[in-house]
Structure 1
Amino acid sequence: MSSSSSKGASPPAIDSKRLESNQLSSVEDTADHLLETLGYTPELSRNRSTAQVAFMSFVLASIPYGLATTLYYPLLGGGPVDIIWGWVLVSLIIICVAASLGEITSVYPTAGGVYYQAFMLASPKWRRIASWITGWLFIVGNITITLAVNFGSTLFFVSCINVFEKEPGVGIFAGETWQVFLIFLALTLFCNAVSAFGNKWLPWLDTAAVFWTFAGVIALMVTILVLAKEGRNDAKWVFGHFESFSGWPSGWSFCVGLLHAAYATSSTGMIISMCEEVRDPATQVPKAMVATIVINTIAGLLFLVPLVFVIDDLQALAELVSAQPVPPIIKSAVGSSGGAIGLLIPIMVLAVMCGIGCTTAASRCTWAFARDGAIPGSKWWVKVNKTLDVPLNAMMLSMVVQIILGVIYFGSSAAFNAFSGVGVICLTAAYGTPVAISLLSGRKQVRRGKFYLGHLGTFCNVITVAFSNSIIAIAK
């Protein structure tokens, strides 16, 4: 009898690294097989884990950046009540949106996202038109929200620079129209360059962004609450004061203020476009979408509550020409321009990371739509650059469209509001369409997914459809 089979012999040594590698390979092969059964050939590398998908989803929303650039909406709409409770309300609703999309994505995990889902869920008679409409809503939404992010970052940067003043009330940077456009152009080109040439490092950048965000938020929260040069508001005022400067009736004014939170969370379903770069998209992407909203809600409250505690003059903030109240609030709280810019730098860096994430997601959904022949010249846009492992042509198409649309700023300084409004409307409508179709068809298809939520899913679907209709009406 050989020693290996004798009593008391040790089992063969297990190579844990090889075993883990084989398990990952098996998961990826299963994901690729599922993609093939859905009618597509795998072309992109599956290099993202569940945590990395969640982190990218977090970066797409980029709280607190997304809240900082649009704080003007709830400040006008209802003041503290709209800022804080509007954020909580929309966050709870967006969890339902993420759960609803997660159920469907678990069954149809492709880069096509919601337009492919609409096709598969709709009846044969209506599926082509439903898919075509949803697809264009999704593409336009991705491109314009990416444009809004980079343009919003530009306006935010100008406001941050102007915490330094030549004289009281006059910033050091004029921010002429051509200057703003050039900054926007440089930021757009930079985000595309990083997304194209640094694709393999993006998951690590997204991971770093999460820690960067919370470190920056905690530093800001502690500093402004401790210093509070202009004093602190009491808790009753912070959590219960309602004051509208919009000119609308109170109820409608509050609803308009919700666009602040809707803009910050409009990226919820953009992560679906990364399904073909994820190892186990049927479970990873749905979990990441829901988990990210929870993280975003906490990060948003950590950012917003301290700001409201140190707000000095609502009327003056509502009258700001820049429509960017966060830099003045922080400067007022810390009492110095240098201290303010130090606290604003983490948000500025996060703004760039957000632009990179949105650029990546927009390129993937553009590529996926071209792959199905739905974009003119699709044979060109569908090509994948094998060296960079990215759909470079689709990325360039998205970038050129953004730059052309950015020229609108020369004709109207309200261009950012238009970009963000179009993005929110299109993405919200795109998210709501497959959910509505699934709900009306009795939720038959989602029952076979790995993320099926049963009766809770039905509740989430109803909330999602109602919210989609409401936001579209408000944003118009």
Structure 2
Amino acid sequence: MVSGDHFDETDSDTAADQMLTSLGYKPELLRTRSTFQVAFMSFVLASVPYGLATTLYYPLVCGGPVDIIWGWVAVSLIIICVAASLGEITSVYPTAGGVYYQAFMLAPISYRRLSAWICGWLYVVGNITITLSVNFATALFLVASINVFETAEGEGIFAGEPYQVFLIFLGVTFLCNIVCALCNKWLPILDTFAIFWTFAGVIAILISVLAVAKQGRRDASFVFGHFEANSGWTPGWSFFVGLLHAAYATSSTGMILSMCEEVRAPATQVPKAMVLTILFNLAAGLLTLIPLVFVIDDLKYLSSLAQPVPAIIKGAVGSSGGAFALLVPLLVLGIICGIGCTTATSRSIYAFSRDGAIPGSKWWKVVHPKLDVPFNGMMLSMVVQIALGLIYFGSTAAFNAFSGVGVIALTAAYSAPIFVSMLEGRKTVSTGSFYLGKIGWACNIVSISWTLLVIPLFSMPTTVPVTDPSLVNYAPVVFVGFTVISLAWYIAWGRKNYVGPPT
């Protein structure tokens, strides 16, 4: 039986490598992930309980319970459409280039190079900034978690000065890169562990806050029907601005595509993993959010906190030690999420570099012979993240910029191959194993509409009027900065030298 299983895996790996070779690439990465393991990694990339916990401020201030609960449900349903749309295309083109490669192959010859270039840069920038925001959120969440312990004056015991937050961020970033570089073959085991860890942590929080509920419990009409906007925006628009919370937690949906060359039978398994993971994420998100909303006490006070979840849990259990114990699973999940994002980001840089699209590509496309990872590309990503992290010294709202840019860039990148597929009448995807027919058309339209909403939406400040420089949303600045770099490199080098993926 063992030998038969081994044969099946080898046979599957060979077929996947042959398909990759037919697409024009030499197989360089080891296919170590099974169907379940790629689904687990997709789940870890989102790490929904952690992602929702670290960004609860946005819907809390923009719409209260209605934004928290129904915003999460609405965005999850939209992202199912995005995942299904990408799944159709991935069943035809399963490479580490992901949406970048797909945009090139689907676009008309006359503008395929430019469309792939733009999509590739958006995808890489999105990967880098989402990874940065995950690691930075872990640093901020750790500070807030420590401060459930208070001094005699009622102040948190840890000052959390900008330099302290930055140093914690550096520590988290280094840890994630070390694990990704040195422990690649054990990462699938870590992803599997994360599944059980996540649900154990969520259930512990759910039972504890609802059972103890020191400050009482809200009724169902408040949890599912109370809307309260304290952002300064008009109520309708305020609700939409608060969707950054849910969009951030689901933005990693397409990052799993960068792992296609390390997955057995990626053409069939990756599309299924993407769609099914969103359904699991939807359930995990509701299990996390509903208990927290039931025990929310002072909505306006919590809206003034950058990280309100530690305060909500402490208020519910009435104990600093108990609250911190319940926050530990979320902190560990944050580290695991950072490791997953670091892994996926290094593959996106590797894939884009092997087609010569990033300055210094000859270094970034190298796969380390002993570690079996694109180590140089991983280090490039780490250096860029640390450089961008310095923005925090100028604005404590830097995390808003990082998360905003990541969501904007990835959402736009996901839409590129979907849009060009629609332009060609979806002829290519009809040949894939994950073709959805008319349902696919509907998913495509929803995906493109979501992109058109996201780009202006998450460039907005969370609260208005903006009277303090620290409240400015720097997402458009970072986004435009990367866009200028990519266009300058295209004019200087790409226009004459970049030919795109092999055909």
The TM-score normalised by the length of structure 1 is 0.96
1:377 is aligned to 360
2:134 is aligned to 149
Deviation at 1:25, TM superposition (A): 1.1
1:281 is aligned to 266
Quote the Cα distance in structure 2 between the aligned partners of 1:415 and 1:101. Answer: 30
Q: Percent identity?
A: 68
Does residue 344 (structure 1) correspond to residue 327 (structure 2)? The answer is yes
2:453 is aligned to 470
1:197 is aligned to 182
User: Following superposition of structure 1 onto structure 2, how do residues 63-462 of structure 1 map, counting pairs within 5 Å?
Assistant: 63-320=48-305, 323-462=306-445
Quote the Cα distance in structure 2 between the aligned partners of 1:174 and 1:77. Answer: 27
Quote the Cα distance in structure 1 between the aligned partners of 2:391 and 2:233. Answer: 28
Quote the Cα distance in structure 2 between the aligned partners of 1:260 and 1:432. Answer: 20
Q: Deviations over 1:22-49 (max 9, x none)?
A: 1211111111011011110000000001
- How many residues end up aligned between the 2 structures? 459
Give secondary structure in 2 for the equivalent of 1:372: coil
Give secondary structure in 1 for the equivalent of 2:358: coil
**5+ residue gaps in structure 2?**
460-503
Quote the Cα distance in structure 1 between the aligned partners of 2:449 and 2:390. Answer: 35
2:2 is aligned to 17
Deviation at 1:145, TM superposition (A): 0.5
Quote the Cα distance in structure 1 between the aligned partners of 2:157 and 2:32. Answer: 45
2:492 is aligned to none
**5+ residue gaps in structure 1?**
1-15
Deviation at 1:168, TM superposition (A): 4.9
Quote the Cα distance in structure 1 between the aligned partners of 2:149 and 2:209. Answer: 18
Quote the Cα distance in structure 2 between the aligned partners of 1:263 and 1:166. Answer: 34
Q: Deviations over 1:191-236 (max 9, x none)?
A: 0000110100000100000100001000100010000000000001
1:10 is aligned to none
CA RMSD in angstroms, aligned pairs only: 0.7
The TM-score normalised by the length of structure 2 is 0.91
Quote the Cα distance in structure 1 between the aligned partners of 2:152 and 2:107. Answer: 61
Quote the Cα distance in structure 2 between the aligned partners of 1:314 and 1:87. Answer: 19
Quote the Cα distance in structure 1 between the aligned partners of 2:383 and 2:240. Answer: 34
Quote the Cα distance in structure 1 between the aligned partners of 2:87 and 2:257. Answer: 9
Quote the Cα distance in structure 2 between the aligned partners of 1:219 and 1:404. Answer: 37
Deviation at 1:169, TM superposition (A): 3.8
Q: Deviations over 1:83-102 (max 9, x none)?
A: 00000000011000000000
Quote the Cα distance in structure 1 between the aligned partners of 2:358 and 2:342. Answer: 18
Give secondary structure in 2 for the equivalent of 1:167: coil
Give secondary structure in 2 for the equivalent of 1:43: coil
Question: Displaced runs of 4+ in structure 1, greater than 2 A?
Answer: none
Give secondary structure in 1 for the equivalent of 2:151: strand
1:7 is aligned to none
Quote the Cα distance in structure 1 between the aligned partners of 2:90 and 2:155. Answer: 50
Quote the Cα distance in structure 1 between the aligned partners of 2:310 and 2:24. Answer: 50
Higher deviation after alignment, 297-306 or 159-168? 159-168
Give secondary structure in 2 for the equivalent of 1:165: coil
Quote the Cα distance in structure 2 between the aligned partners of 1:212 and 1:360. Answer: 20
Report the residue type matching 1:311 in the other structure. Answer: I
Q: Deviations over 1:136-179 (max 9, x none)?
A: 00000000010000001100100000000013541000011111
Aligned with 1:50 (options 25, 32, 35): 35
Q: Deviations over 1:362-392 (max 9, x none)?
A: 0000011001100111111111111111010
1:6 is aligned to none
Quote the Cα distance in structure 2 between the aligned partners of 1:278 and 1:195. Answer: 17
Report the residue type matching 2:360 in the other structure. Answer: G
Give secondary structure in 2 for the equivalent of 1:236: helix
Report the residue type matching 1:435 in the other structure. Answer: I
Quote the Cα distance in structure 1 between the aligned partners of 2:153 and 2:243. Answer: 32
Aligned with 1:38 (options 23, 46, 63): 23
Give secondary structure in 1 for the equivalent of 2:69: helix
Quote the Cα distance in structure 1 between the aligned partners of 2:408 and 2:152. Answer: 41
Quote the Cα distance in structure 2 between the aligned partners of 1:20 and 1:337. Answer: 50
Quote the Cα distance in structure 2 between the aligned partners of 1:198 and 1:105. Answer: 27
Report the residue type matching 1:389 in the other structure. Answer: D
Report the residue type matching 1:40 in the other structure. Answer: Y
Quote the Cα distance in structure 1 between the aligned partners of 2:5 and 2:292. Answer: 46
Deviation at 1:17, TM superposition (A): 1.8
Structure 1 or 2, whichever has the larger Rg, is: 1
Report the residue type matching 1:392 in the other structure. Answer: F
